[in-house]
Amino acid sequence: MRGTILIVDDSAMMRKIVLRALTLAGLDFQKVLEAGDGSEALEILKTNAVELVMCDINMPVMSGLEMLKAMKEQNVGAGVPVVMVTTESSVEHVREAVAVGASGYIRKPFTPDQVKQKVLALLDAA
Amino acid sequence: MSTVLSGVNAGPAAHEFFTPENLLLMDETVHEVYSTMLNLEVVANGEINGDELMRHEQTAIVGFAGALSGICEISMSAQASIAITSGMMGGMEVEMGPEVCDAMGELCNMLSGGWKNRVPGLGAACSLSVPTVIEGAAYSVRRPPHTRINRRSYNFGDGFLLLLTLLYDPT
């Protein structure tokens, strides 16, 4: 059993789908936290020990990339792997996300196996 | 309700993205999203011509901005949208409600994003809006007369129909 995961997406449905994919992949977390945008996620990261963040890019209020920049600037969630889960999968988008601190990238649509491979690689490396 | 597209963000090369070859890439995108996220078979019926009303009770729209200014719109019946939602939830029983609207928005988001990322040169040059979902069919949409529209239809599940419209403003 893993620790705490934070799933960030403005779609409650997508948050459920990500969690379901993790569960189907055999990745169980003790605690699941959810945020509807980057700003909410930032507040959660300030007060919770999180092992992994799965984050959308296109969100209202604060996007996933803005959240990554804010994490750096405010020194929040240092060392916590952040996996972007998004339809924005061009090479340029991936480079931009990695440049501002993303640890990994999963393109929507995804299979549970793809989620498992990416997440296990990150958690094992952490 | 009405929507007017301004075309302010249209780039000079927008027409280069709206070729028959690139429009066909939507069929590939629909197939990938349906098989991966919904576990549903889908059959492409090809392009639909004519001006007939292309709308059912549930509609989702995602906007394109940047190199291509336009929208991707999907429309389906209430029952079809419930089937989509159930597919996303791994076959769980679903009733009409906010989850269904959410699923419609996400489906439109994955289709529009998947298509633009398949079109050479469009992926990073074009941004997507967050999805808008409309319930009901009693609304009108006004568009500039020169707007180019490509309408496609797909069958899935228990005889359900997905109507998809790609549209851009070349001005």
Q: Which residues of A touch B110 (CB under 8 A)?
A: 87, 108-109
Write down the pLDDT at residue B11.
45
Write down the pLDDT at residue B35.
95
Judge: B32–A16 Cβ closer than 8 Å, yes or no.
no
Total domains in the fold of chain A: 1
CB pairs under 8 A between A and B: 68
pLDDT tens digits along A75-119: 999 999 999 999 988 888 889 999 999 999 999 999 988 999 999
Could you say which of A10, A20, A90 has the minimum Cβ distance to residue B117? A90
Q: What is the mean pLDDT of residues A71-76?
A: 96
Nearest residue in chain A measured CA to CA from B126: A88
Q: Which amino acid is at B50?
A: G
Res. B62: pLDDT tops 50: yes
Helix (H, G, I), strand (E, B) or coil at B40: coil
Nearest residue in chain B measured CA to CA from A111: B36
Rounded (10°) CA dihedral A8, A36, B68, B55:
120
Residue A124 exposure: Cα atoms within 13 Å on the Cβ side: 7
Chain A contact for B95 (CB, 8 A cutoff): no
Res. B8: pLDDT tops 50: no
Res. A65: pLDDT tops 60: yes
Residues ≥6 apart with Cβ < 8 Å to B134: B1, B58, B59, B60, B61
Write down the pLDDT at residue B87.
93
Res. B59: pLDDT tops 50: yes
The first and second tokens of residue B58, run together, are 């549930």
CA B95 to chain A, closest CA, distance in angstroms equals 14
Closest by CA to B103, choosing from B115, B90, B114, is: B90
Other Cβ atoms closer than 10 A to A23: 15
pLDDT band, very low/low/confident/very high, at B53 (cuts 50, 70, 90): low
CA B51 to chain A, closest CA, distance in angstroms equals 31
Chain B contact for A92 (CB, 8 A cutoff): yes
State the pairing for strand pair A2-8/A29-35. Answer: parallel
Could you say which of A12, A58, A89 has the minimum Cβ distance to residue B117? A89
Write down the pLDDT at residue B6.
42
Q: In the predicted model, what is the mean pLDDT of chain B?
A: 87
Chain B contact for A73 (CB, 8 A cutoff): no
Write down the pLDDT at residue B144.
82
Residue B43, strand partner residues: B155
**Helix (H) or strand (E) segment spanning residue A77:** none
Tell me the ipTM for this assembly: 0.87
Chain B contact for A60 (CB, 8 A cutoff): yes
Residue B61, strand partner residues: B73, B132
Domain of residue A112, CATH code: 3.40.50.2300
Chain A contact for B109 (CB, 8 A cutoff): yes
pLDDT tens digits along A8-45: 999 999 999 999 999 988 999 999 999 999 999 999 99
Res. B50: pLDDT tops 80: no
Res. B138: pLDDT tops 90: no
Closest by CA to A109, choosing from B107, B83, B162, is: B107
Residue B97 exposure: Cα atoms within 13 Å on the Cβ side: 7
Q: What is the mean pLDDT of residues B50-76?
A: 87
Domain that holds residue A51: 2-125
Question: Higher-confidence residue: B108 or A125?
Answer: B108
Give the C-alpha separation, A85 to A93, whole Å.
12
Give the C-alpha separation, B163 to A79, whole Å.
45
CA A123 to chain B, closest CA, distance in angstroms equals 24
CA A109 to chain B, closest CA, distance in angstroms equals 6
Q: What is the mean pLDDT of residues A52-79?
A: 95
Res. B4: pLDDT tops 50: no
Chain A contact for B117 (CB, 8 A cutoff): yes
Q: Which fold has domain B14-168?
A: Chemotaxis protein chec (3.40.1550)
Burial B77-107 (b: 16+ CB within 10 A, else e): bebbbbbbbbbbbeeeebeeeebbbbbbbbb
Judge: A17–B124 Cβ closer than 8 Å, yes or no.
no
The pTM of this model reads 0.89
Give the C-alpha separation, B135 to A120, whole Å.
40
Could you say which of A13, A89, A108 has the minimum Cβ distance to residue B103? A13
- The percentage of residues in chain A with a pLDDT greater than 90, rounded to a whole number, is 79
Q: Which residues of A touch B90 (CB under 8 A)?
A: 20, 24
